[in-house]
Amino acid sequence: MKMSNEVNEVMKAFMEFQQEVVNPVKDTKGYGYKYAKLDSVVDVVKEAMSGKGLSFNQEVGYDEKGNILVTTNIFHESGQWLSFGPVGLPKDTGKSMSDVQGAGSSITYARRYSLAAATGLASEEDVDGSNSRGSRKSANNNSSRSSKKTETATQKQIATINEWLESDNADKVKKMLKQEGYRGMKHIASTSESKVEELIKKIDKEVS
């Protein structure tokens, strides 16, 4: 996170914003979960920022590997600002998509993910919350085993699969997940990081 030299005004307004903003309605179905589309996230943010001297923009860029990078900036009328990110995601490389379509799909997902994270919103159902709570409880009950616990899927891995599930390759990806024995995103989120990485490589080989 980056910020202007002075942040007293922007932080005061941002705190007021966060007290008023509400999570967007999650009315779009994903693979075993629901999420709010980008326009829904933008709408609730703009509504809550109204009258507080706040505004935002999102910068899109690329790294040396071609991954999409999105940075969300929060501005205050005083000239003070906050900058969050960047959030990085790989470009959607589905066979049925052109390079432009693939980039557009990834940018849309990254913008939603970045804006929600910067403003403290939940734009998706918590697919791994129950697993995390269970892991913490287990660690508290038996700390000697916690260091040996297998790490579960990372947020980046979950985001990558979610992006595919919102792309033109969604049906193909759902079919592959079913063939691999996954019952939904909660199941994937509770799977070991190494196994999910293998799954991502298989999917990427099929859709790219």
Q: Per-residue pLDDT tens for 85-139?
A: 898 887 665 555 566 777 788 888 899 999 999 999 987 665 544 444 444 444 4
CB 107 within 8 A of CB 8: no
The pLDDT value given to residue 137: 43
Which pLDDT belongs to residue 186? 74
**Of the candidates 97, 95, 107, which has an alpha carbon nearest to the alpha carbon of residue 68?**
107
Q: How far apart are CA 132 and CA 136, in angstroms?
A: 6
pLDDT at position 141 over 70: no
Confidence of residue 189 (pLDDT cuts 50, 70, 90): confident
Predicted confidence (pLDDT) per residue in 4-62, tens digit: 999 999 999 999 999 999 989 887 876 667 888 899 999 999 999 999 999 999 999 99
Amino acid code (one letter) for 72 = T
Residue-wise DSSP of 182-204: --SHHHHHTSBHHHHHHHHHHHH
Helix (H, G, I), strand (E, B) or coil at 154: coil
Q: What is the value of pTM for the model shown?
A: 0.64
